[in-house]
Structure 1
Amino acid sequence: MPVRRRLFALLLAAALSATLLTSPAQATGRPRVDVVGLGVAEARALLESRRVTSVELVREYLRRIDAYENAYAGQPGVNALITVNRRALGDAARLDAERRAGRTRGPLHGVPIVVKDNFDTADLPTTSGSLALADLRPRDDATQIRRLRDAGAIILAKANLHEFAMNITTISSLGGQTRNPYDQRRHPGGSSGGTAAAVAASFATAGMGTDTCGSIRIPAAHNNLVGLRPTLGLSSRDGVAPLAGTQDTAGPIAGSVRDVALLLDATVGYDREDPVTAASTGRIPRSYLGALNEKSLRGKRIGVFSDYFGSTPSEQRTTGLVRAAIADMTAAGAHAVELGPQPEIMTAAAGANRVRDEFERDLDAYLADANGKPRELARLEPPYREITLADIATSGQVTPSVLTTLRNWVGSPALPNPAYEEKLRQRGILQAGLTGLMAEHDLDALVYPTISEPPTMIGTSQSYLNCRLAGYSGFPALSVPAGFTADGLPVGVELLGPPFSEPDLLGMAYAYEQRTAHRTPPASTPPLG
């Protein structure tokens, strides 16, 4: 923590010091823009109309980070970020100059976002939240980061994550414990919890996360946001630190369905560096914005996956809100189909997790391609010139709960092997079961709670079995806010569809979102004066 805190303080101080120069707002006499709840679409409109500059936006986000990231006014602080990009103001100034000259790079020109710190960024370390990898420098940007920059996005900061993306409470040896802005005593979900907490606290317009089994959708639900796990093969994973290659996806977390669609437009598509994306060829619309229609729920058939509705007192709070969400969907024209127990699908989902099998193989391959490798770390275990999972485990520079797992996973059995092949077989059964269930009932989507409980207190655990249907099948799923419990905790409702049904999912979620308007910024990080 001390190393991380010093790094963060130095970078933030450098970025803030740049704002002491005369700003466009000061030069024009314009008041500061209020960025609380400001999304990608709204920021884009402000920039296009010249009512705000990118420099002004970046400066306001830096002010909020300075105010709310660390302890303040009796609050422990959100602690969502690992590294603030000290070049962000310079990037913003260049993008402003390009706009004044009549050039825009794309639909995100000058829009500040945050990204989870397992996306490679050539100009910033990519640490996976681990002290062991604090100095790791990628060779280049991840494909999705490059595409975001090509569209004009500003990478404002790298966000904390549950170390190596291994759980849902977002604690890491480098970043510490991220807290939920809706109640800073509670965890923000994970593993993309830093991204979600940063977006919820209005540290940026939106963010990018990864999802192996719920790591986008759970933090979206816990932070009153929209989060999409795309179809496996829709978006590249090149340059994203892996957890399991046959399950990993990367996608957007934002305050609205429209913002998710905008980020999706900028990032999807074939990438030769990730061969699985060949499946997306011919299956991507001109723009996902075209799917957004307030009438999109009319005539849709949604299957209520009752196995994922909990009945404990804590779970009932979520169940009640998601049942109310389904009622809102039916009021908007959808037909809800009660599916009843699905034991075959549940059994297949329980047996299809490949993380334990693939993690060491995939992480070692990712690290072998990294630049700026800490030599002292590589020398801990053979082969001595490359960093491996064995080196990281031996270093001990990992948060304790994750360190135990890493040490247990060193020397994983070579692939393929009979146990792994059985998990792949169960994946096939799960995919066939979901496809058959939807065909049998003529369904457009399944619906269920994103996670069975509201966010729990820091230091406690939480079940996240609801992530399995999408996570282990590779099917797309979208979490959208379903409202708040009586004590103000956010809950999410999830829609799952067949492969490459993102336009339908976005359309249905948009119609529901427009009808219900559950998005409300957290009270613990209010507007600054």
Structure 2
Amino acid sequence: MISKNKLRMISGAFTAVLLLSQLAAPGYAANADTELDEFASQKWAPNGFLTSSNRESAVKANEFVHLLNEVADAAGYDQDITNTLDSTVIKRENAAALLDQIIDVPYPEDPSFLDVKDIAYQPSIKVIATSGLMKGTSSSSYGFGKALTHSEAAIIAYRLYQYLQPFNPVEASIASIQDALKSGRLTSEELVELYLNRMEQYDDNGPQLHSIIAVNEAAIELARGLDEERKKQGARGPLHGIPVILKDNFDTADMPTTGGSLALKDSTPSDDAYQVMKLKKAGAIILAKANLHEFAFGYTTSSSLGGQTLNPYNLERVPGGSSGGTGAAIAASFAAVGMGSDTGGSIRVPSSFNSLVGIRPTIGLTSRNGIMPLALTQDTGGPIARTVADAAAVLDATVGYDPNDETTASSIGHTPDSYLDYLNADGLQGARIGIVREVFGTDQEVNAVMDNAIDELKQSGAILLDNVAIPNFAEINGFESLSNWEFKFQFNDYLESLGSDRPYDTLSDIISTGMFDSSIAQQLKDRNAKETLDDEAYKDIILFRTKLAQQAVLRMMADHDLDALIFPTSAEQIVKIGGNQTIGNGFKLSSFTGYPTVTVPAGFTSDNMPVGMDFFGRPFSEPTLIKLAYSFEQNTHHRQAPKLTP
């Protein structure tokens, strides 16, 4: 029999379209008609096997074996399946035994079907039920002894064909990966290799996106260990064996953390950032560190160490920033999910510019400990993903109290059992949403996408209040950026935290080396010129801006009884490489208040560049925002994979 490894090497990879663990038994599945239509459309489907008159009639063994051989041949399985049952009617347990000869499920689960008394069939039924090819007629019954019908056989054949395809990581979700790992189609080790191959093909070569600064050399070994753990103990949870890419300002004790700067290319912290530690505890594999706008200073993602990252939708455009390397990498399917940091839009903008989902959490929901600071008053870290569900799964793993970040004490009592519980496709029904027109800007292309998104929100059942105004917004906008004040002092504290082996003691030392992108030289010097935080201008920002912004948002939302606000993530289109990227004022609502935002794909401009929309809300309203964003995503499906990285 052909080996599983050989099967995966057969040419002609296809994207897995079935979430196997969610499939009910043939004949009981909600999507049975769809699967029967798919079966009928396959070239390998035998003529006359499935007709309107024979759907519910019993299948004979020779018919079923012939069907399985047709599937196997089409999928590249080169050994015939022999018929030992002649022309007798085949029963469901006989079908399980035949299928068990073809597939290999390394972690079969016991479905505890009460009607399976014959011990000889139990192993095969466990394998086939776990694979999702053929589950029970109910949660407690396999349907032992029942004859297999033509329609059931057709659905099984279609699922088997999908199962035998080599796994395609492009656009693969965490759920679909876990299904493949559980069913035996894939191992985490193989998944890591698939992602590394894509990096070599599209980041190092081909379009050369330059999204990755460094690959974790231990990733394959880590994946192998997690595969063994899964085999012996089961999965830890949704992130077990899932590769993650980190923006290279998250501390990692086993890899350098550079901020994109040549000056820190060999700087390896003594421990992991708190969120990285939590990801590892959840079973995630840190696959690589991504490029960023050096020291997180801008929106175009250029650094002295990583160079200029390109947008996978158009190589002449920027990927957004400062987490642009993570954005480009996740859009190009170099990993399942990624992590970014956000001070003034650095999760939201690259998510928007790469047709991705980004979550900027409430400050205090997730720890900033071990994330290279830009301005801690506004800094936060969170997920960048291709789907709302994947971002929610990562948020589940990374929230919580960290004694080394006192702001996280405020999260106690504000985290649900799981953010995945809020994935409601009907979540927009009756939701009251305010449209903040004053941050839309004048770009006709962006506004056209937003107008269409607004119509889609209405069609999905949302109640929209147009042109709601933020009280005192002009005054709030007049305050200076906190990064101009805080960066020097907090970055020096960060350097000190690296211990006695730190490469430099202060920002002044780094500036003296000249080992940074020339484009940020003046920004570094201006920030380094600040002599103290005991300044009235800085105190005014801390004492008045935050309070003014928070009160304005809460008052306006209360006055209109709103669940969330919406506006374009960036009021401006994506500029060409070398251009000056601006994004408007919408980002300030979250950055100045510390309140959460979920960015979700809203569509594309006429030149096929992505546009994102922000759902913004009250403190710790992530469950509501995730519900609304998921509903919008499921009712629109605006995300499209970049054609340059197929």
TM-score by length of 2: 0.74
Q: Deviations over 1:485-516 (max 9, x none)?
A: 12110000111000000000000000000000
Q: Which amino acid aligns with 1:277?
A: T
> What SS is found at the alignment partner of 1:234?
coil
CA shift in 2, pair 1:333/1:87, >3 Å: same
- Residue segments in structure 2 that go unaligned for 5+ positions in a row: 10-163
> Are the equivalent residues in 2 in contact too, given 1:137–1:372 (CA < 8 A)?
no
Deviation string for 1:141-199 (max 9, x for gaps)? Answer: 11100100110001110000000001010000000000000001100000000001000
- Alignment match, 1:25: 5
Q: Does 1:498 align with 2:618?
A: yes
The residue aligned with 1:516 is: 636
Distance in 1 separating the partners of 2:478 and 2:403: 32
Does 2:195 align with 1:61? yes
CA distance in 2, matches of 1:25, 1:291: 38
Q: 1:193 aligns with which of 324, 330, 338?
A: 324
2:59 aligns with none
Does the 8 A contact of 1:24 with 1:56 survive in 2?
no
Q: Alignment partner for residue 421 of structure 1, among 536, 539, 543? A: 539
Instruction: After TM superposition, list the pairs within 5 Å mapping 1:33-432 onto structure 2.
Output: 33-72=167-206, 75=207, 77-311=208-442, 315-342=443-470, 344-351=472-479, 353-371=481-499, 373=501, 375=503, 378=504, 387-424=505-542, 425-432=544-551
Partners of 1:428 and 1:416 in 2: how far apart?
19
Moved more, 31-40 or 467-476: 31-40
**Residue in structure 2 matched with residue 462 of structure 1 by the alignment:** 581
- Could you tell me how far apart the structure 1 residues matched to 2:261 and 2:565 are? 36
Is the partner of 2:200 in helix, strand or coil? helix
What is aligned with 1:384? none
Are the counterparts in 2 of residues 110 and 154 from structure 1 also a CA contact under 8 Å? Answer: yes
Tell me how far apart the structure 2 counterparts of residues 159 and 58 of structure 1 sit (CA, whole Å): 16
Alpha-carbon spacing, 1:353–1:24, altered in 2? closer, same or farther (3 Å): farther
Alpha-carbon separation, structure 1, partners of 2:8 and 2:310:
37
SS in 2 for 1:362: helix
CA distance change for structure 1 residues 282 and 341 in 2, over 3 Å: closer, same or farther?
A: closer
Distance, in Å, in 2 between the alignment partners of 1:223 and 1:356 is 28
The CA deviation at 1:341 is 4.8
User: Quick one: which amino acid aligns to residue 302 of structure 2?
Assistant: I
Q: Aligned-pair distance for 1:310?
A: 1.7
Contact 1:477 1:496 in 2 (8 A): yes
State the partner residue of 1:5.
Answer: none
Shift of 1:294: 1.0
8 Å CA contact retained: 2:366, 2:401: yes
* 495 and 352 in structure 1: CA distance in 2 versus 1, 3 angstrom threshold: farther
* Residues 345-398 of structure 1 deviation map (CA, whole Å, 9 limit, x = unaligned): 2321331631111111111101101147455xx3xxxxxxxx211111111111
Q: How far did 1:213 drift?
A: 0.8
1:478 paired residue among 582, 598, 602: 598
Residue 437 in structure 1 maps to residue 565 in structure 2: no
Does the 8 Å contact 1:81/1:175 carry over to 2?
yes
What is the alpha-carbon distance in structure 2 between the residues aligned to residue 524 and residue 141 of structure 1?
34
Q: Which residue does the alignment assign to 1:9?
A: none
Cα distance in 2 for residues equivalent to 1:409 and 1:453: 27
Structure-1 separation of matches of 2:500 and 2:433: 49
Matched residue pairs, number? 488
Offset of residue 251 of structure 1 = 0.1
Q: Distance in 1 between matches of 2:5 and 2:626?
A: 36
CA gap of 1:27–1:293, structure 2 versus 1, over 3 A, is closer
Distance in 1 (CA, whole Å) between partners of 2:321 and 2:272 is 23
Match of 1:8 in 2: none
CA distance in 1, matches of 2:380, 2:405: 11
2:607 is aligned with 1:487:
yes
* CA distance in 2 between partners of 1:229 and 1:339 (Å): 24
CA distance, structure 2, for counterparts of residue 491 and residue 484 of structure 1: 5
- Which protein has greater RCO, CA pairs closer than 8 Å, 6+ apart? 1
Query: Are the equivalent residues in 1 in contact too, given 2:344–2:587 (CA < 8 A)?
Result: yes
- Give the whole-Å Cα distance in 1 for the aligned partners of 2:564 and 2:338: 25
SS of residue matched to 2:233: coil
Mapped to 2, the partners of 1:53 and 1:174 lie a distance apart of 33
CA offset digits 1:30-68 (Å, max 9, x no partner)? 764211111222212221222210011111111110101
Native 8 Å contact 1:138 1:372 kept in 2: no
Specify the alignment match of 1:15 in structure 2: none
- The residue that corresponds to 1:449 in the other structure is 568
Say if 2:364 and 2:408, in contact at 8 Å, map to a contact too.
yes
CA positional deviation for 1:323: 1.6
Residue-by-residue CA offset, 1:191-240 (whole Å, 9 max, x unaligned): 00000100001100110000001000000000000001000000001110
Residue 470 of structure 2 contacts residue 556 of structure 2 at CA under 8 Å; is this kept in 1?
A: no
How far apart are residue 71 of structure 1 and its match?
Answer: 4.0
Q: For 2:447 and 2:178, how far apart are their aligned partners in 1? A: 36
Equivalent-residue separation in structure 2 for 1:453 and 1:411 (angstroms): 31
Distance 1:135 1:403 in 2: 21
Aligned partners of 1:345 and 1:434 also within 8 Å: no
Q: For 1:118 and 1:67, how far apart are their aligned partners in 2? A: 25
Q: Is the 8 A contact 2:358 2:600 kept in 1?
A: yes
Change over 3 Å in CA distance of 1:109–1:453 after alignment to 2:
same
Q: Do the aligned partners of 2:348 and 2:569 also contact (CA within 8 Å) in 1?
A: yes
CA distance in 2, matches of 1:283, 1:130: 37
Q: Given residue 371 of structure 2, which amino acid in structure 1 is its aligned partner?
A: V
Deviation readout 1:91-135 (Å, 9 max, x if unpaired): 111111111113323321101110100000110000000001111
Corresponding letter in the other structure for 1:478: V
Contact 1:136 1:372 in 2 (8 A): no
Structure 1: how far apart are the matches of 2:605 and 2:177? 30
Tell me how far apart the structure 2 counterparts of residues 83 and 249 of structure 1 sit (CA, whole Å). 23
3-state DSSP of counterpart to 1:101:
helix
Query: In structure 2, what is the Cα distance between the partners aligned to 1:343 and 1:114?
Result: 39
Q: 1:279 to 1:349 in 2, by over 3 A?
A: farther
Paired residues of 2:174 and 2:238 also in contact (CA < 8 A): no
Amino acid paired to 1:513:
E
Structure 2 distance, partners of 1:410, 1:352, is 16
Residue type of the alignment partner of 1:81:
I
Fraction of identical pairs, as percent: 46
